[in-house]
Chains A and B, each alone.
Chain A
Amino acid sequence: MATAAEHNTDHHHEETFISKYIFSMDHKMISKQFLLTGMFMAVIGMIMSSLFRLQLGWQGESFWILNFFLGDKWAPDGILDPNMYLALVTIHGTIMVFFLLTGGLSGTFANLLIPLQIGARDMASGFINLLSYWFFLASSIVMIVSLFVETGPASGGWTVYPPLSALPQAMPGSGMGMTLWLVSMSLFVVSSLLGGLNYVVTVINLRTKGMTMTRLPLSVWALFITAVIGVLSFPVLFSAALLLIFDRMFGTSFYLSDIHVAGELLEQTGGSPILYEHLFWFLGHPEVYIVLLPALGITSEVIATNSRKPIFGYRAMIGSILAIAFLSFIVWGHHMFITGMNPLLGSVFTFTTLLIAIPSAVKAFNYITTLWKGNVRFTPAMLFSIGMVSTFISGGVTGIILADSALDINLHDTYFVVAHFHIVMGLSAVLAMFAGVYHWFPKMYGKMMNRKMGYAHFWVTFVCAYGVFFPQHFMGLAGVPRRYYTNSEFPLFDEFIGMNEMISVFAIVGALVQFIFIFNFFYSMFRGPKASQNPWGSNTLEWTTPVEHIHGNWPGALPTVHRWAYDYSKPGKEHDFVPQIVPLEEGELDGGAGH
């Protein structure tokens, strides 16, 4: 340990404002940069959803606020333009999936937690880490710029299937807006890869003495495997985007064939849009786990800490993470059951998809058992985590229906799918991200967030979230297609007018409530009470660092780890937690080592 000790002693260079806050290479600062950028993007995504919910709730009616945000071109007389509706849905999805729940979530918590929880002074490469953030920022800026182009932003849905997305003749959003979308996503992939490689290398190489893989907190396990999945799957999205760029700009025909659009005959032949779908979903499905696993990791920490009880089945939890990661690469075809794929192939995808339900179920059961006979303390983070377990189950079970290729025939692309993935992915990850912020805010900013506002925020958010997405199952079962600007063109779905109104009210109230969180966040950052070193009584290493951030994280030598992260309420101990740095007593067994 001598080298590490030497390394840290004189670590106080004078820092300028720029090197400290802007071009920082410190993982804690980069984590905060990711968080703030992600939050900013999320607010944009959220405003967009409120705008299209106005249209869906009161179809074809005029709202001055639509005109206020979108102008006369896209909301003449306050009535949303159908092209703009599709653009809003598309960019909302893109922002939420990629910018908030991939870049924002992994970027924030991998950066914050990996070095702090494994006992490292920083990421393996601070510079690559800095690049990762700056690519993310550049990508966000390009995405935002794309909102302002003449023909509108990309509007082919967040999956941007060609030929729709390849042909400017097919819709205005497939012009300049789509080009920028592709540029933005390419930058995003670069950011993810740089970040991911760094996380992987850091976890493998920089664990402190005693921090074996089976003593890692589940949050680190989750973030680690997430990074591995990302590194393996994002390049495929990159190639999909690249080929699409070629088709759009250079007349190649990877995805195009036999097309006669807007009175014009295209000469491209021999390509297949289905190829794009395969490439996209080869990333797309792992991507949903890239979103979900960090959320599960955060939940594991928060639930164990606040139940004052070891996470139940630590090894099974790791096993499920690994199983999910592996399976997530061989299920992508469940998004393509009705593209005319060979039915036999469809069967295989049904089979693998249903297999993934097993490790998912194990995780859910283990969370519930962790609560059992616990001593449950309801911090706001804990409320959000319990909420997350609930949404994970509620949305996960409908996955079983959709995974059944036969049932998917009639449910694919209906609101049932919208309900499924918003609940299981959107809500779970957003709730967990809130949990993470409430839980680690003291670590990030050295201040405490206001608890009462946290409670208010949780309950309104949670109720509104289910209020928005739960009813959508029922619309889906009635056959209501997704991505419809209005259902008023035929009487089939008239029964759902009232439901749409209700959903919109929940959506808008739920959106407004987020301002309580934003207020709490910034207020606490500046004026919140000063945090103590270990406010939640946690075992993990990040709570052994000083409240004021320092370069290198620990003032003296790096901590040595003697036990797993979950010695909560261990019999015979004075306190209901035993930090990982506390040596094992004579004859004491380490919980994580198994018996």
Chain B
Amino acid sequence: MVTFLIIVAIALASLAVWQLLRVFEGTAKLKGGDSFVPTDAENKYQGRMMLLFMFGYFAFFAWLYVRYAPHFLPESASEHGLVLDQLLDFNFLIITVVFVITHVFLFYFAFKYTYSSDRKATFFTHSNKLELLWTTVPAVFLAVIIVYGLSAWMDITDEAPEGSLTIELYPKQFDWTARYSGSDSLLGASNYNMISGVNPLGVITNGSLTSKQQELTEEIAGLKEELETVPKGGLKEEEIIETIGKRERQLARVSSFEGLEAASLVAGDDDILVKTEFYLPVGESVEFIFRSRDVIHSAYMPHFRAQMNCVPGMTTSLNFISRKTTEEMREITDNPDFDYLLLCNKICGAAHYNMQMVIKVVEPEVYSKWITEQETFAESIQPADEEGMAEATNVTRNEISMIEQ
């Protein structure tokens, strides 16, 4: 019904305009003359509109600035961010000046040189001097911008200093896991073939290796049993045979990790995996390592002026030193609920908008206390009892439906 009404309304409105036009046409004919080019009155009017628009545009800019600049990101929570913010201010200064000057000229000229039939435009085809001027002046400014910008860039992308805290941030649709290297300061090896319900990052340790092998062996056995029960030559049979093949190949790949050095097979045991929030000690250099389980995600930590894509099949990294604790930032922003956030900033699926983790920046003592309270990887894969074991395998099976939700 509503649709119908709207269609009627549109039809009526078009009719009205149509009628209006016929009137226009009529009067144009009466007045006679060449109505193709704008009349003097129209030109004058439009020229004024140009000027008016210019003021309106600048006013809009100013209003937006006054209203929203206070809600830009607060002062940088990382050391390198301070440099970036300065660089940003410097670049903004330049482009704002260029923006304003060119717009003033553009709209003012449009207004000033509005058509008049008793004037002729100046025949001015080119001027090498002028053109040289506005090739070299931008070039000079750009040279400054390039040098300034690139020196900041090279600094920021420098390798992490020796002794940095290493944290892996591991995304999947649609959440993050953070992994700390634990007491040995070494992240254990990891591989996507090892992923299971209890081992979301596929960390390779002696414990996880055996349990993954066991899980796969059991699954293969189960599948083989099932194979006996399905009709021969059917689609179902084909499907099961294919799955068995896949699992066997996976098992072979997993088993090949037994060949890894003994040391790296224990490095993962003391790793610490956390979800929903992770802690950083203020003032210490942190190196972040990124992989991804499924699609490209991007680890975006706007308050630290830090971002890096997380790409399946490769590792990326970035490092920074935080300079304000969460508490301090709450005071600075005058917002007792303030928290630093890790967001996903590369389109990754339906819940891309809700892939976040809270970052708590705390004093080093608080950090040390927190980290010792966390469960290590070895503990987390230790089945507490029979029930725990059952749960663990269930998770694997149910993962599909979980993710779909």
Q: Which residues of A contact B (CB under 8 A)?
A: 64, 68, 82-83, 86, 156-157, 161, 163-164, 167, 170-171, 256-265, 267, 269-274, 307-310, 312-316, 338-340, 343, 346-347, 350-351, 354-355, 357-358, 361-362, 364-369, 371-379, 383, 386, 389-390, 393-394, 397-398, 400-401, 404-407, 409-410, 412-414, 442, 448, 450-452, 455, 459, 462-463, 466-467, 470-471, 474, 477-479, 481, 483-487, 489-492, 495-496, 499, 519, 523, 527, 529, 531-532, 535-537, 566, 568-571, 576, 591, 594
The residue of chain B having its C-beta at the shortest distance from the C-beta of A274 within the complex is B311
Distance between A275 CB and nearest chain B CB, rounded to angstroms? 10
Beyond the given A270-B313, A474-B69, could you list 9 further A-B residue pairs with CB under 8 A, ordered by the A residue number? Answer: A256-B312, A274-B311, A350-B153, A354-B142, A400-B145, A404-B87, A406-B150, A407-B91, A412-B298
- The minimal Cβ–Cβ distance linking B334 to chain A, given in whole angstroms, is 13
Contact between B95 and A410, CB atoms less than 8 A apart: no
- Chain A residue with the shortest CB-CB distance to B97: A397
Contact B353 A486 (CB under 8 A): yes
Chain A min CB distance to B129 (Å): 11
B275 at the interface (CB under 8 A from A): no
Report the nearest A residue to B246, measured CB to CB. A267
- Tell me whether B378 is interfacial, beta carbon within 8 Å: no
Give the chain A neighbours of B367 by CB distance below 8 A.
none
Of residues 130 through 174 on chain B, the ones whose CB sits less than 8 Å from some CB of chain A are 130-131, 134-135, 138-139, 142, 145-146, 149-150, 152-154, 156-157, 172-173
- Establish whether residues B64 and A309, one from each chain, have CB atoms under 8 Å apart when the complex forms: no
B99 and A393 within 8 A (CB): yes
Interface of B is mostly: helix
Nearest CB of chain B from residue A351's CB, rounded to whole Å: 6
B139 contacts A358, CB within 8 Å?
yes
A-contact bits for B326-348, CB 8 A (1 contact / 0 none): 00000000000100010111111
- Chain A residues closer than 8 Å to B150, beta-carbon distance: 347, 350-351, 405-406
17 contacts between A and B (CB under 8 A): A170-B349, A259-B192, A260-B202, A273-B296, A313-B131, A371-B109, A374-B113, A390-B106, A393-B98, A406-B153, A409-B84, A409-B305, A412-B298, A474-B69, A478-B71, A481-B345, A489-B356
Known A156-B347, A263-B403: A495·B68 in contact at CB below 8 Å: yes
Given A261-B293, A265-B192, are A350 and B110 also a contact pair (CB < 8 Å)?
A: no
Is the CB–CB distance between B87 and A316 below 8 Å?
no
B residues within 8 A CB of A83?
A: 350
Chain B residue at minimal CB-CB distance from A589: B125
Q: Are B157 and A343 in contact (CB under 8 A)?
A: yes
Partner of A82, one of B294, B303, B351: B351
Binary flags per residue of B77-88, CB closer than 8 Å to A gives 1, else 0: 000010110011
Contacting B193 at CB < 8 Å: which of A265, A364, A401, A462?
A: A265
Q: Which of B91, B103, B126 has the most A CB atoms < 10 Å from its CB? A: B126
Q: B308: which A residues are within 8 A, CB to CB?
A: 338, 340
Q: Name the interface size band of chain B.
A: 35 or more
Residues of A within 8 A of B106 (CB): 367-368, 371, 386, 389-390, 393
Contact B102 A368 (CB under 8 A): yes
Distance from A460 Cβ to chain B, minimum over Cβ atoms (Å): 12
B121 touches A271 (CB 8 A): no
A483 lies within 8 A of B64 (CB)? no
Given contacts A156-B347, A376-B47, A483-B347, contact A591 B61 (CB under 8 A): no
Specify which of B125, B134, B337 is in contact with A591 (CB 8 Å cutoff).
B125
Inter-subunit contact A273/B312 (CB<8 Å): yes
Determine whether the beta carbon of A485 is less than 8 Å from that of B124. Answer: no
B71 in contact with A496 (CB, 8 Å): yes
Q: Quote the shortest CB–CB distance from B328 to chain A (angstroms).
A: 18
How many Cβ-Cβ contacts under 8 Å join chain A to chain B?
Answer: 379
Most chain A CB within a 10 A radius of its CB, from B50, B145, B150: B150
The 10 A-B residue pairs with the shortest CB-CB distance in the complex, in nearest-first order: A257-B313, A479-B302, A340-B316, A378-B46, A263-B399, A343-B157, A397-B95, A404-B149, A309-B121, A484-B353
Q: Are A519 and B14 in contact (CB under 8 A)?
A: yes
Residues of B within 8 A of A339 (CB): 309, 311, 316
The answer to whether A535 and B36 have CB atoms under 8 Å apart is yes
A519 touching B313 in the complex, CB below 8 Å, given contacts A365-B134, A492-B341:
no
Check if A271 sits within 8 Å of B115, measured CB to CB.
no
In the bound assembly, the distance between CA atoms of A86 and B346 in angstroms comes to 12
Q: How far is the CA of A492 from the CA of B343 in the complex (A)?
A: 11
- CB < 8 Å neighbour of A346 from B3, B115, B142, B157: B157
B246 neighbours in A (Cβ, 8 Å): 265, 267
Chain B min CB distance to A496 (Å): 7
Chain B, residues 50-70, CB within 8 Å of chain A (1/0): the string is: 100100110011001100110
Quick one: which of B43, B250, B307 has the most chain A CB within 10 A? Answer: B307
Are A471 and B64 also in contact (CB < 8 A) when A355-B142, A576-B120 are?
A: yes
Q: Which one of B154, B312, B343 has the highest number of Cβ atoms from chain A below 10 Å of its Cβ? A: B312
Given known A-B contacts A273-B312, A389-B106, A378 and B43 have beta carbons under 8 A apart: yes
Q: How far is the CB of B89 from chain A (nearest CB, A)?
A: 11
> Is the CB–CB distance between A350 and B64 below 8 Å?
no
Is the CB of B224 closer than 8 A to any CB of chain A? no
Contact B404 A262, beta carbon cutoff 8 Å: yes
Residues from chain B with a CB closer than 8 A to the CB of A261 are 173, 293-295
CB distance from B290 to the nearest CB of A (A): 8
Given A407-B87, A569-B120: A364 touches B71 (CB 8 Å cut-off): no
Flag if B72 contacts A343 (CB, 8 Å).
no
| A265-B121 contact in complex given A354-B142, A400-B145, A459-B49, C-beta closer than 8 Å | no
Residues in B neighbouring A265, C-beta threshold 8 A: 192-193, 195, 246, 250
- Verify B122–A309 contact, CB threshold 8 A: yes
B116 at the interface (CB under 8 A from A): yes
Most buried by A among B36, B84, B344: B36
| Distance of A489 Cα from B353 Cα, bound (Å) | 8
B87 touches A259 (CB 8 A): no
A351 to B107, CA, bound (A): 32
The verdict on A170 contacting B294 (CB below 8 Å), with A410-B305, A535-B37, A576-B121 known, is yes
Distance of A350 Cα from B81 Cα, bound (Å): 19
Q: Is the CB of A529 within 8 A of B121?
A: no
Which of chain B's residues have a CB closer than 8 A to the CB of A156?
A: 347
A401 CB contact (under 8 Å) in B91, B124, B404: B91
Which residues of chain B are within 8 angstroms of A362 by Cβ–Cβ distance?
Answer: 131, 134-135
Cβ of B300 and Cβ of A481 under 8 Å apart?
yes
Q: A53 CB to closest chain B CB, in angstroms?
A: 16
Check B146 against A354 for contact (C-beta < 8 Å): yes
- Whether A401 lies near B92 (C-beta < 8 A) is yes
A171 touches B298 (CB 8 A): no
Measured in the bound complex, the distance between the Cα atoms of B81 and A274 in whole Å is: 27
Name B294's closest neighbour in chain A (CB-CB).
Answer: A261
Complex: how many Å from CA A591 to CA B125? 7
Are A351 and B313 in contact, CB atoms less than 8 angstroms apart?
no
Point out the residues of chain A lying under 8 angstroms from B341, CB to CB. 490, 492
Among candidates B126, B149, B192, B344, residue contacting A315 with C-beta atoms closer than 8 Å: B126
Q: Give chain B residues whose Cβ lies under 8 Å from the Cβ of A315.
A: 126
A376-B113, A410-B302, A452-B24 known; A274-B314 Cβ under 8 A: yes
Chain A neighbourhood of B71, CB < 8 A: 478, 495-496
Complex CA–CA separation, A377 to B113 (angstroms): 9
Measured CB to CB, the nearest residue on chain A to B313 is: A257
- How many Å lie between the Cα of A470 and that of B400 in the bound state? 42
Question: Please, what's the 1-or-0 string for B263-305, where 1 marks a CB less than 8 Å from any CB in chain A?
Answer: 0000000000000000000000000000101111010101101
Once the chains bind, are B121 and A307 in contact (CB under 8 Å)? yes
Cβ–Cβ contact B88 & A407, under 8 A? yes
Q: Which chain A residue lies CB-closest to B65?
A: A474
- B205: interface (CB < 8 Å): no
